[in-house]
Structure 1
Amino acid sequence: MHTLQISMYVLALLIALALLFDFMNGFHDAANAIATVVSTGVLKPQTAVAMAALFNFVAILIFHLKVASTVGKGTIDPQVIDHYVVFGALIGAICWNFLTWYYGIPSSSSHALIGGLIGAAVAKSGTDSLMMAGLLKIIAFIVLSPLLGFIFGSIMMLLVSWLFVRSTPRRVDKWFRRMQLFSASMYSLGHGGNDAQKTMGVIWMLLIASGSLGAHDPLPLWVIISCYSAISFGTLFGGWRIVKTMGQRITKLKPVGGFCAETGGAMTLFLATALGVPVSTTHTITGAIVGVGSVQKMSAVRWGVAGNIVWAWIFTIPASALVAAIAWWIGMKIL
């Protein structure tokens, strides 16, 4: 692989930009981890984000770096990667994240980043720069992650309904207010484990391209700690806008439904991370929430709101790719 001549200033700038994306990822996607536990009234927002941030960071002890490897080495031809491509990819992802956060749309930070990488790489070298095997796996999980979330959420809701069929609503509510603390923690653990690794992958590809690391060298510990720290701090500052959409506008949730949705979402994230697939935590929890709502009754799901979210998903990759292509061109002029 060719080695780029990148000044330490530019390298540091791009790493800082990657960590800013990671921070925004936590900020933007904090809602996914805490929406149900806040909207059901189990925890106050401040307590919920603190818990989510803690378990985002604890993920450093649990998961292998398979997702980071997929992003860093399995999406874009390493020969194409340079500081302009990384700059374009990050700017594209950050801009889309900010836009969707501002309007309270639960889009995917993960797919914004993938779209950014695609847009910048194609702008530089055309479609031959794409590693289709890795990208097809990611694209497949665009469909599979909400579907798995839906299935797991539905199964959990059916199972819980059967197990507690003789219990009073008050007893069920009291029990699952406690259980939701566990399910929300597990979902936050899965969120940190999958999402922080995407930024690690970007920094990894940058360090390899610059010659700071060999292609087969392990990812430095400082990168791992920095990325988990950034997403955790981002989660601490996460916004309420998307919490409201996720937690109540799709379907009204009670603690039992929140537990089932979070558990179904966590199961999906754990599976994807074990397989090394970067998935959307937004897609996952949305699918699980819809699954829980549909078990209660189909009319309990506000399909119009869910439809708007799906449209945001569809536009995420092309929109962030377009912004990234423009940012790549700008980067060529200023870096």
Structure 2
Amino acid sequence: MTPSHCFSSSSSSSIRRIGGGAEAFPIHNTHSFFYKQISSHIYKRYDKTLQLKSQPPKSPLLPTTLRLRCLRPLLPLASLSSFAEPEGEEQEVSIHKKEEDVKSDDLPGMAQAFHISSKTATAIIICIAIAALSFPLFMKSMGQGMGVKNKILSYTTLLFGFYMAWNIGANDVANAMGTSVGSGALSLRQAVLTAAVLEFSGALLMGTHVTSTMQKGILVANVFQGKDSLLFTGLLSSLAAAGTWLQVASYYGWPVSTTHCIVGAMVGFGLAYGGFGAVFWSSLARVTASWVISPFMGAAVSFLVYKGIRRFVYSAPNPGQAAAAAAPVAVFVGVSAISFAAFPLSKIVPVAVAQALACGTVGAVLVSRVIHKQLGHLLLKSNSSQLEANEDASQNKSIGLLSDVAGPKGTQLEIVYGVFGYMQVLSACFMSFAHGGNDVSNAIGPLAAALSILHGGASGAEIVIPIDVLAWGGFGIVAGLMIWGYRVIATIGKKITELTPTRGFAAEFAAASVVLFASKLGLPISATHTLVGAVMGVGFARGLNSVRAETVKEIVTSWAITIPVGALLAVFYTWILKRLLSGLL
């Protein structure tokens, strides 16, 4: 969104309320050039003011990657209005946008996304490509003492697995980091670097070491007994088909489910080469049901969480103190739940619960210390109404027309956003680590099964995944995240609805909670669909007009065609690979 979007170009005028009072002023239709100049001038002055007054002191407690910005500089007026939330009531600005305005924020290239030169971006991509082509040659999974044909097939299989993992990183990692970037809690570069470390660590340390040959129980194994060559070709085709559709979706910024991609691809292969009896239709029905269950559950829970934040934090006598007190409790609950659901803890339930509670305690203590270390000066200031009044008066002089941005609780709201920013970053880190450990199996499962067939293993139920294959999948996820991850992050964080730290935390907390309880209850759920629904729920809590219908329509359409497209691509790729690999199999 650019500064010119802050003023309506339509014939109608928009009204902005100031400080929650009755006073309002109309924004009339005037020449766009004039408003561009005025808004540009306002941004420069406002940015300087925020840099002088809102920047927290540096602390050695946190690395640079996790330092947060209390407020986002250079925000458009429509976004700044959402920061003025005195007495728990958000002040909305009604701006009539044309459809092309919503899409005017074109997806930038990698160089622009990370603020690096095009030469540096090209060098990074070339280095990743060279590593992807050369690393498999030194992996034990290439097989010792095998013939040349099997080595070629093993090398090809590892490249197919890397391609799938690359696309998982490009699309699915937005589940963890998209809301943090959209709310301004982390910059895009900080989010990508943090996620890269945590995703790889999660894939390597917490990755599933045992997987099913028939991924997610979609295909009936008995149908392919004695047809190892056909099954091998089908597994490669499934990786290629799912990766292709994920790449298309990532290009357009559509967040789709990687599990649905793999399921669709394997269903297509099973139907074409094994008949209707080769597919577990009940499993497919459960996956299809998640299209409806996931987003609705995510939206409902995030709606309630955000309403609760507005009720018990914004409406409190001292919102800053209320947020600081609630943060450790919320982090304790969230981290404990995520740890219990996502990490491979002890199989003894009481021990697993104790381990999860220990993780939650560590997270709560860490957040409490960080909040009081980084925001302690603001917490002290919030107790003095005179200091806050002086600050507001000084800020009003500096920013003129934008005096309603902070409202009568500028310091209080700054504390609230700072507190929820830290909470959001911590929850995003846990989600990113858990994602690396769980979703790497979408790429590594079919890859490990194909390698097992090449190494003489039967198409049985369980296959042990070597550590080098787990690391290979983690590297692919990180590579995709660095090169293309910003595209879907932009959709999750910015193109569905405007996010602030409180809204982002509500969406992330709701999505994690829904995925946790649905998994424990055995309900079909999609983490991607749940998060998108949660972001929409936060938007609905602010009003129906706060959700961009065009973006939601594109996302839902991409969900609906994921399984059919994956199935068709798998059939097509199987037909091609059977001919290309006929001399090697």
Common fold: TM-score over 0.5: yes
Q: 1: CA distance between counterparts of 2:192 and 2:274?
A: 41
Partner of residue 478, structure 2: 232
> After the TM superposition, which of the residue ranges 48-57 and 261-270 deviates more from structure 2?
261-270
The structure whose RCO (Cα within 8 Å, separation 6+) is larger is 1
| Alpha-carbon contact 2:496-2:551 (below 8 Å) kept | yes
Other structure's SS at 1:251 match = coil
- 2:541 corresponds to 1:295: yes
How far the C-alpha of 1:314 sits from its partner, in A, is: 0.2
How far the C-alpha of 1:70 sits from its partner, in A, is: 8.4
Q: Name the one with the larger helix percent.
A: 1
How far the C-alpha of 1:29 sits from its partner, in A, is: 2.3
How far the C-alpha of 1:210 sits from its partner, in A, is: 4.1
Partner of residue 305, structure 2: 156
Distance 1:157 1:312, change over 3 A: same
How far the C-alpha of 1:162 sits from its partner, in A, is: 2.9
- 2:164 corresponds to 1:21: yes
Residue in structure 2 matching 1:309, options 551, 555, 574 = 555
Partner of residue 532, structure 2: 286
Q: 2: CA distance between counterparts of 1:182 and 1:151?
A: 23
Q: 2: CA distance between counterparts of 1:223 and 1:112?
A: 21
How far the C-alpha of 1:328 sits from its partner, in A, is: 0.7
Q: 2: CA distance between counterparts of 1:212 and 1:146?
A: 43
How far the C-alpha of 1:85 sits from its partner, in A, is: 0.6
Partner of residue 174, structure 1: 418
Other structure's SS at 1:228 match = helix
How far the C-alpha of 1:307 sits from its partner, in A, is: 1.9
| TM-score, length-scaled by structure 2 | 0.52
Residue in structure 2 matching 1:35, options 168, 174, 178 = 178
| TM-score, length-scaled by structure 1 | 0.87
> After the TM superposition, which of the residue ranges 266-275 and 231-240 deviates more from structure 2?
266-275
Distance 1:334 1:283, change over 3 A: same
How far the C-alpha of 1:278 sits from its partner, in A, is: 8.7
> In the alignment, residue 36 of structure 1 is paired with which amino acid?
T
Q: 1: CA distance between counterparts of 2:208 and 2:568?
A: 32
How far the C-alpha of 1:115 sits from its partner, in A, is: 1.2
- 2:275 corresponds to 1:143: no
Q: 1: CA distance between counterparts of 2:200 and 2:501?
A: 25
Q: 1: CA distance between counterparts of 2:309 and 2:213?
A: 36
Distance 1:237 1:71, change over 3 A: farther
Partner of residue 112, structure 1: 261
Q: 1: CA distance between counterparts of 2:164 and 2:524?
A: 15
Q: 1: CA distance between counterparts of 2:208 and 2:436?
A: 12
| Alpha-carbon contact 1:138-1:277 (below 8 Å) kept | no
| Alpha-carbon contact 1:151-1:288 (below 8 Å) kept | yes
How far the C-alpha of 1:295 sits from its partner, in A, is: 1.9
Partner of residue 183, structure 1: 427
Unaligned residue ranges in structure 2 (runs of 5+): 1-146, 225-229, 320-411
Other structure's SS at 1:104 match = coil
Distance 1:118 1:280, change over 3 A: same
> In the alignment, residue 540 of structure 2 is paired with which amino acid?
S
Q: 2: CA distance between counterparts of 1:86 and 1:285?
A: 29
Distance 1:52 1:22, change over 3 A: same
Partner of residue 259, structure 1: 505
Q: 2: CA distance between counterparts of 1:106 and 1:186?
A: 20
| Alpha-carbon contact 1:104-1:241 (below 8 Å) kept | yes
Q: 1: CA distance between counterparts of 2:578 and 2:257?
A: 27
Q: CA RMSD in A?
A: 2.8
| Alpha-carbon contact 2:250-2:484 (below 8 Å) kept | no
Q: 2: CA distance between counterparts of 1:185 and 1:70?
A: 30
How far the C-alpha of 1:331 sits from its partner, in A, is: 0.7
Q: 2: CA distance between counterparts of 1:265 and 1:154?
A: 11
Identity between Structure 1 and Structure 2 (%): 29
The number of aligned residues is 330
Q: 1: CA distance between counterparts of 2:242 and 2:180?
A: 27
| Alpha-carbon contact 2:209-2:466 (below 8 Å) kept | no
| Alpha-carbon contact 2:299-2:536 (below 8 Å) kept | yes
- 2:579 corresponds to 1:333: yes
Distance 1:26 1:278, change over 3 A: farther
- 2:450 corresponds to 1:206: yes
> In the alignment, residue 254 of structure 1 is paired with which amino acid?
T
Unaligned residue ranges in structure 1 (runs of 5+): none
Q: 2: CA distance between counterparts of 1:267 and 1:70?
A: 30
Partner of residue 221, structure 1: 467
Partner of residue 8, structure 1: 151
Q: 2: CA distance between counterparts of 1:132 and 1:211?
A: 31
Partner of residue 98, structure 1: 247
Q: 2: CA distance between counterparts of 1:197 and 1:62?
A: 11
Residue in structure 1 matching 2:273, options 124, 128, 137 = 124
| Alpha-carbon contact 2:170-2:488 (below 8 Å) kept | no
Distance 1:142 1:197, change over 3 A: farther
Q: 1: CA distance between counterparts of 2:154 and 2:508?
A: 38
Other structure's SS at 2:215 match = helix
Distance 1:185 1:277, change over 3 A: farther
How far the C-alpha of 1:277 sits from its partner, in A, is: 8.5
How far the C-alpha of 1:217 sits from its partner, in A, is: 4.7
